[in-house]
Structure 1
Amino acid sequence: MHDLVHDLAVSIVNERRQGNASKSLRSFRTSPPMLRALHYLDCCRTQLDGSAFAPARSLRVLDLSECSIQQLPDSIGKLKQLRYLNAPRIKDQMVPECITKLWNSIYLNLHQSSIVALPESNGELKSLRHFDLSYCSGIQQLPASFCNLSALIYLNLHGSSIAALPESIGELKNLRHFDLSCCSGIEKLPVSFSNLEKLAHLDLSYCYHLSGLSEWLGSLSRLEHLNLKYCRSIGDLTGELGGLTKLQYLNLARVPLDENLSWLPKVLVNLTKLSYLNLENCIDKAESVILLNYICKLSNLEHLDLYRNSHLYEIPEAISNLSKLHTLNLSFCTELERLPASIAKINSLKYLDVSDCSSLDMSTLPQCLTYFAVHASDGGCTSNICELEYEDPPFLNIKMLENVKSAEEAQRIKLVKKQRIEKLELAWTRGANEFVDGEKVLEQLAPPATVKIFSLQGYKSASFPSWMMDIATFLPRLESITLRGLPSCGKLPPLGQLPNLQVLHISQMDKIRKIDGELYGGTTNAFPKLGFLSLHCMEYLEEWNMATCVFPKLRGLSVKQCPMLRFKSGLPLSNTLYISGSDKVILSPLVDSGASSSAATNRLDVYCCDAPLDQWSLLRHLRGLKDLRIENCSNLTCSSADILHCLSSLETLSVTSCKRDDVALPEWLGDLTSLEVFKVSNCQGIRTLPESIHQLKCIKRLEINKCPELVQWCKSEENKTKLAHIKEIVRALPIYPL
């Protein structure tokens, strides 16, 4: 992609105009016909004028990424010279047909748009090389002409609702990068997929139901990057994977390999160029030693991820053969007892993660630059933290800070001057006694301004040092911050002032009772780039007061185990809400603020809620909700007409692991007239579908898993008639022969 943009930049005249999106180009003083590149800046509150681009016939580059785009104006079709169009987050469901007249376009980005279909004439964009449709969750199929995009090199369909690719997808013979991750509706790829012989990057992660890989995978001999994370039915791929000798990246995280793991070592023998291997949570105890010995022969391996393999109990001495290894993730390997002495011989090792390895003998750890355990020196009067004085690694995790003997020791390592550190973790051990008050130690461990990822865990003091209360000044580049297990802190730092913060995790802060302007930093424009926020295990948090113009780009909000929390004045504007074990959040009687999250939130996941559905007041404020997932909840009873009205836009409903043994799906299910997908999983108490099921005229897919009596009900001849209007009736794996 970078080469593509570079070539484009070279090809245009160096003449650029920044403008106000609410005005027509005719109002600009510069002659519009001479414009070559146009980028609207900070125009998220204004709408595009319908004739905005009509005069700019020579435009080559148009960047609307900072605009509020209700719909693309028809005048865009007159930009015959346009090569680059960046137009994410379009709110309208349709893309105008005129966009297919941009015959010279080579780059098109419609990321996170609300569109439900592409124009049928999409295939006329013969020059298009880069097409980004990621997070366009409304798109369910590609037009037949799509496979005419013969110049296409890069295609991103991440997070779309596509259930099947066109049979002629193999016509895209120049495709090199294909992202199908999180397309959970796809069960099989066309046989013609084997014709994509130039493909170098293929991401199929989170395609849970995808099978039949052996039909085409072996033909993709140029693959360098393959991600199969959470592909749960890939089967034995000995011959297919073993032939991908150019593979450098292989992700098999969460793939159920334990039943037939014997094929994987046979594959690894041939993957001599592999530099990245992820086997998260997929190694069986019986095969672990054999498999690891084969892994230790991969001489080019740089990154090895064995996260959450609870059956892994030893690492072979041969690990030292991995002379290029720089990252080793062993976190949550709870049965791992010790590390081999030979691991200290890997001079390239920079990042070693053994967090939550509860059985691990910490004395076997190498004093790795990235994982540094503080302990008392031989004399007992000082600690070993001073060994970090002359080190400046890119990642640094300092554990067991309770063993620091004086604040002067912490000051001596001059952490603030280490200009290579980008990721920093500081941790005190839970329950351990401190030699020095934590605040005094943390005051001397002010991070350098280069840090982008910061984690603070186990800190026991009641207040933060001055640098944390002015964190935006000290850490202006910070993109992710985690505050976990801080039991005594009663105030939060002004994190809302951080200009580049994208991810925020706060958990186990028992003294926090309220979230308000203190967290925002006293500004109405707080958290300008935050995309994900989690509040977990905040047992005494009672109140969250929203402010105006905060979280403008929030895509995900997770609230877990916050039993006392209620929203007071409104909801954060988030695309997705995850709520678990926090009933009062679900029951919050909010004051409707007009421009509420009803327009922003399209997915709600509710876990472990004991309150009946008709008391879920939160639903009244989510009128644009399209996807509702309910798991481990007790009561689906609902007779409230206004709550049912709030679900009128619902397209996907998933019910999983109901707690009761006598659950009856309510008759109101038939009132969800927009419902397209209905999933029931592990609810053995659900024995029948309601009579109103025939009212769901839009439903396309019924998915049943681990509900034996419900499956039998569906098989009866009488009930097959009631379900005749549903196109697909399946179980997650395998398909039920209904």
Structure 2
Amino acid sequence: MGEDLPVEFRESLRKHTNLRTLRFNSKFSLTEDILSSFKCLRVLWLQIKTGEVPSSIGKLKRLRYLRIESDSVTTVPNSITKLQSLESLVLLCRKITLLPGEIWKLQKLEHIGLREDTVLTYMPSGLSHLTSIRTLRIFFVGKGIGCKLNELNGLIHLKGLLRIFNLENVSSVRDCVEANLKGKHNLETLHLEWNDEGVNRVKIDFDVLGNLEPHRNLKVLGIKGYTDNRFPRWMMDPLLPNLVVIILKQCRNCQNLPALGQLPSLKDVHLEELDALQFIEGGSVVRRQREWFPSLEKIYLIANPYLESWVKEEEEEVSLHSVVLLSVRNCPKLSTMPILPSLEELTIEKCSEKLMLSLLKMHNLEDDMDGLTSLCTLEIQEIPNLVSIPKGLQNATALKEFIIFDCESLLHAFPEGILLPTTLEKLWIVKCDSLMSWPNGLGNLTSLVDLGITCSRNLQSLPEEMRHLTALKILMIGGWDGVEPLKDLEKYDLSIFLPCDFPRVTRKTATIGFLRWKQEHVRRHLCICCPPGPSGDLNDQYHSSETAAFGEASLLGWFKLNFVGSSKEVCMGSRRVAGFGGTISNSDGPVIKPYAGSAGEVPSVDSEVLALWNGLKLLSTLPSSPVWIVGHSELVVKWRTIGH
């Protein structure tokens, strides 16, 4: 258990026993007597650092909403079933192993919320008695224990999302029939998941899935771990006219997909780890172009090792007219795709050069110049045999983001004689060690804001054309052993300069401008502060005795990044090892992204730099918002100009 509440805090709470809403977040524990004294509570939100939930919670008879967040709580006391007015029970406790066995007594309960990563393995029996339930996002099928799948029958008001886990534990197909998913017309999202345990259960999987047909109102369907090579009739026929998203993952024996092209509302297709799949559509399919995948917008193909093409037999090329996003990752045998005339975002990773060439080529008709005119984002990663980008990319007149990463054979980032599109706002060419020349027309990119480059063994200096990049604000560079190529960076009006290979970058390199934030830019967008360092810390020479803060910020609507790095002696002082970490939180407190890692054998200040760098990378994945950054190294915070 955590520490008991201080006396003065206890006395203060006793003066407010008429509270109707209480959110408790403290390192101290709420004692049994204190908690039970809040007889009027309607809403209780507990964030428990250590220990379990006090059993006296069952005395809060008027409680309607209960939310418990904890990384320590493993059980919820059975006394909770005395809360006859409870309507919402939210248990965000990852380590929870049991729900109250008599939860069925909570007849007014409408919402049960659980964490998706909970270690819970089954639901308590009697769930079917909770006929008022509207929200039950997670349901676990127990292995010979707890609630059976057929108890979903009584939950006729279920709506929104339902995820059913551990379907390998279903012992009777009759339970699936009695679950009556087809009768739950308010369900919009259904995920069905089997654990991949390597057992031979093909026949029962087919029967289980065949009897879990949802209502035709369903919008999102996800299936994971299914072992049969066929899908049941309700998926093969267009019986889901409102389906918008389908996700098939780890269906390792799947050879034939449902007739997805006939689903009129389908917008997103996600196929991942389908080890036996060769074609999205196998055999001849009679179709009219505008009726085949009429609404499809996004395609995700991930880790399908034997996938060869979209269509098995086709005499002429076909088009998917409405597709705007295609992401293909780790599909080494995939060589062709339908024509995608409206494509806006393309990602290709660990695939064949042939696939990339087919996607970026011109259409068959020589006078057709519209093939890539809608493309805004192109990301190419780890294509080992790629030597040059196809000339067809010259037609990408709307291209704004162009990223090439880890293409070891790439000699030319853009075809000779072809200029980069002047619309580019972001250009990254990283870890392409054979690169012979910088892209043509780099100096014409007057809209370029974000540039990331690493020098190859053939290029050890920045291109002269960089001086014309008048809009450049973010520069990430690396690949040099020294600092000579960086000596002219002072002339650029950069907001951020980040070395992109920190383990190799020296402290001197970083001081050239690691975070060179202009003061007027800081006031609008950033607040950085450095609290005093603890006495005796190995890094005290880098800490300030006063807080270093740049700009003033009202924190409402901001993100907050806390970063820290440190190193220590090991092997009796023969070497030092360092680590780093941090958190990103909302302005109102909750942590939304923690991170940590090893920094290798570097000094403390270098690990602080690495901590900040990784935090900034995470921030770049979040919606645009002002940022408050807090660290413990004044030197890192104040790296703004050469020689600082």
TM-score, length basis structure 1: 0.51
Which SS does the other structure have where 2:36 is aligned? coil
Match of 1:48 among 16, 30, 49: 30
Match of 1:204 in 2: 192
Please say if residues 299 and 327 of structure 2, whose CA atoms lie closer than 8 Å, have aligned partners that are also in contact: yes
Calculate the aligned-residue CA RMSD, in Å. 5.2
- Cα drift, residue 87 of structure 1: 0.3
Distance 1:254 1:314 in 2: 19
Aligned amino acid, residue 207 of structure 1: N
Distance 1:360 1:438 in 2: 34
Aligned positions of 1:370-381 closer than 5 A: 370-371=377-378, 372-373=401-402
Match of 1:254 in 2: 250
Distance 2:464 2:211 in 1: 57
Match of 2:51 in 1: 70
Match of 2:132 in 1: 151
Distance 1:24 1:174 in 2: 47
Match of 2:153 among 164, 170, 180: 170
Distance 1:30 1:385 in 2: 68
* Residues 270, 369 of structure 1: alpha-carbon distance in 2 compared, 3 angstrom cutoff: closer
Please say if residues 298 and 325 of structure 2, whose CA atoms lie closer than 8 Å, have aligned partners that are also in contact: yes
Please say if residues 196 and 220 of structure 1, whose CA atoms lie closer than 8 Å, have aligned partners that are also in contact: yes
Please say if residues 181 and 214 of structure 2, whose CA atoms lie closer than 8 Å, have aligned partners that are also in contact: yes
Please say if residues 111 and 134 of structure 1, whose CA atoms lie closer than 8 Å, have aligned partners that are also in contact: yes
- Cα drift, residue 354 of structure 1: 1.0
Match of 2:274 in 1: 282
Aligned positions of 1:551-570 closer than 5 A: none
2:462 pairs with 1:436: yes
Please say if residues 17 and 38 of structure 2, whose CA atoms lie closer than 8 Å, have aligned partners that are also in contact: yes
- Cα drift, residue 230 of structure 1: 2.9
State the number of aligned residues: 465
Distance 1:225 1:496 in 2: 45
Match of 1:384 in 2: 420
Match of 1:273 in 2: 265
Match of 1:403 among 438, 444, 459: 438
Aligned positions of 1:471-620 closer than 5 A: 488-489=504-505, 499=560, 516=578, 529-531=592-594, 541=600
Aligned amino acid, residue 377 of structure 2: T
Q: Deviations over 1:485-534 (max 9, x none)?
A: 878446798999984699xxxxxxxxxx976367669xxxxx96544657
Match of 2:553 in 1: none
Which SS does the other structure have where 2:179 is aligned? helix
2:332 pairs with 1:334: yes
Match of 2:534 in 1: none
Distance 1:69 1:112 in 2: 12
TM-score, length basis structure 2: 0.58
Match of 1:132 in 2: 113
Distance 1:528 1:439 in 2: 42
Match of 2:302 in 1: 307
- Cα drift, residue 353 of structure 1: 0.9
Q: Percent identity?
A: 19
- Cα drift, residue 170 of structure 1: 1.7
- Cα drift, residue 545 of structure 1: 9.2
Aligned positions of 1:639-654 closer than 5 A: none
- Cα drift, residue 370 of structure 1: 1.4
Distance 2:133 2:472 in 1: 50
Q: Which has the higher strand share?
A: 2
Match of 2:169 in 1: 186
Please say if residues 298 and 324 of structure 2, whose CA atoms lie closer than 8 Å, have aligned partners that are also in contact: yes
Aligned amino acid, residue 12 of structure 2: F
* Residues 55, 487 of structure 1: alpha-carbon distance in 2 compared, 3 angstrom cutoff: closer
Please say if residues 152 and 175 of structure 1, whose CA atoms lie closer than 8 Å, have aligned partners that are also in contact: yes
- Cα drift, residue 228 of structure 1: 0.8
- Cα drift, residue 182 of structure 1: 5.8
Match of 2:69 in 1: 88
Please say if residues 74 and 98 of structure 1, whose CA atoms lie closer than 8 Å, have aligned partners that are also in contact: yes
- Cα drift, residue 258 of structure 1: 4.3
Name the structure, 1 or 2, with higher relative contact order (CA <8 Å, separation 6+): 2
Match of 1:228 in 2: 223
Aligned positions of 1:419-434 closer than 5 A: 433=459
Match of 2:321 in 1: 322
Please say if residues 150 and 171 of structure 1, whose CA atoms lie closer than 8 Å, have aligned partners that are also in contact: yes
2:20 pairs with 1:28: no
Q: Deviations over 1:685-719 (max 9, x none)?
A: xxxxxxxxxxxxxxxxxxxxxxxxxxxxxxxxxxx
Match of 1:352 in 2: 346
Aligned amino acid, residue 302 of structure 1: E
- Cα drift, residue 23 of structure 1: 7.2
- Cα drift, residue 99 of structure 1: 1.0
Please say if residues 228 and 254 of structure 2, whose CA atoms lie closer than 8 Å, have aligned partners that are also in contact: no
Which SS does the other structure have where 1:35 is aligned? coil
- Cα drift, residue 136 of structure 1: 6.9
Which SS does the other structure have where 1:123 is aligned? helix
Distance 2:41 2:188 in 1: 32
* Residues 514, 94 of structure 1: alpha-carbon distance in 2 compared, 3 angstrom cutoff: same
Distance 1:499 1:292 in 2: 55
Distance 2:194 2:495 in 1: 38
- Which 10-residue stretch deviates more, 160-169 or 231-240? 160-169
* Residues 322, 431 of structure 1: alpha-carbon distance in 2 compared, 3 angstrom cutoff: farther
Please say if residues 254 and 275 of structure 2, whose CA atoms lie closer than 8 Å, have aligned partners that are also in contact: yes
Please say if residues 192 and 223 of structure 2, whose CA atoms lie closer than 8 Å, have aligned partners that are also in contact: yes
- Cα drift, residue 246 of structure 1: 2.6
Please say if residues 254 and 282 of structure 1, whose CA atoms lie closer than 8 Å, have aligned partners that are also in contact: yes
- Cα drift, residue 330 of structure 1: 1.6
Distance 1:35 1:25 in 2: 15
Which SS does the other structure have where 2:127 is aligned? helix
Distance 2:242 2:140 in 1: 28
Distance 2:276 2:116 in 1: 35
- Cα drift, residue 89 of structure 1: 2.1
Please say if residues 111 and 136 of structure 1, whose CA atoms lie closer than 8 Å, have aligned partners that are also in contact: no
Distance 1:81 1:33 in 2: 13
Gaps of 5+ in 1: 1-19, 390-395, 417-424, 449-455, 467-472, 476-480, 503-512, 522-526, 552-738
